[in-house]
Structure 1
Amino acid sequence: MSVSLITRINVAVQRLKQSLIFAFGHPPDAFCLAGIEVDRLPQKGPQWSLKDVIGDGFLWAQPKSRRSLEKRMKRRYGHPDYIMKILTPRTDLRTCNVCGDDHEAGVLCPTCYKKVIDETKAMQDAIQNELKLEPVEKEVVVLYEGEKDGEPEEFFEGKRIVEMKRERPSWFSKNLLQKSTQKGATTTEVKPSELG
């Protein structure tokens, strides 16, 4: 990008130089070749160069020195003698109903979610210890202490059971593990009218 910028500036300077030479100096050779009378064009003025106009170089809008920390803080927070930019309190904080910690609105409470992360990690470890790294073709059911007695034996047929050696947490309800009530599709063909 910097190369293209330098090229554009170079082209612009060359065009400016050509137009200034044509306006104040001798005409380009192209007019002589085209048959235009040179005598009718403006006469040569005093000799000057583009270097006289530009000098040592272009002046870019760059800061000469670093802005001090005091000036940066004054710009950010204001100054008591002139204007004071008061820190505005946040209005998007909410208190969790379960644990009482504060969190942003629209975001899960991090303290409560940490419990979910820990419980999920414990379940994953129990599954890995029970099933090792073998491929699992059957459905895996995770049961807590005392849950196996409440279900009939037909419920566990064709399933692999992983038991957790502790009670189910109160916030982790049992019906989260239930499958959807919809029946699976009987055909593999889907018509365009049945997509929506």
Structure 2
Amino acid sequence: MIPRLTHIVQLMKNVERNLFHMFGYPPKELALAYVHDYKPATPAKKFSINDIVGDGFLLAVPKFRRTTERKLKRKFGSPEYVWKMLVPKNNIKVCETCGHHHEKGRLCEHCYSKVKAETEEIQAKIKEKLGINPIEHDVVVLYQGETLPDEPKEFWKGKRIIEMKKERPQWFSKNLLQKTTQKPSKSTDVKPTDLA
């Protein structure tokens, strides 16, 4: 029984081989079929710089306005998310010159504003007298009642003199880079009147 079955299978294989030999062999591997759709050529579009750039220049620009609530949340936090507590400053001291408060390690704002106002007044006077041309030589500022110091002529060569029509403020030194002429005290005694 088994030899007959194998004989029938062998016969069918031979018939199949002969048929395929006559009409062509089937493909030995899988192949993809592609149907090409021919599209007519579209006319060339007008060139625009917007096609190249797009919104590339707006990458770092915020697109929406940040609301006041969101600003305050970023600054102070919020109890639901991150709560940034306001911490009191412990580094505030009293200015020895004017008595105003300022942070340690910083200039006193009140004293600085006085010096800034005086400097701006001097600059305005220099601009009024000398113009806005670049000043290549030193400028000597004389207040009311001050005289030129006794210096040789070579010292004054090329220097320009500006006269202010008011008295020099006590806190405005003649030479701000010059150190004080008063020698520091060497005494170690502390008197009650000198404590504060």
Q: Could you say which TM-score interval applies, normalised by the shorter chain?
A: 0.3 to 0.5
The TM-score normalised by the length of structure 1 is 0.43
- Larger helix share, 1 or 2: 1
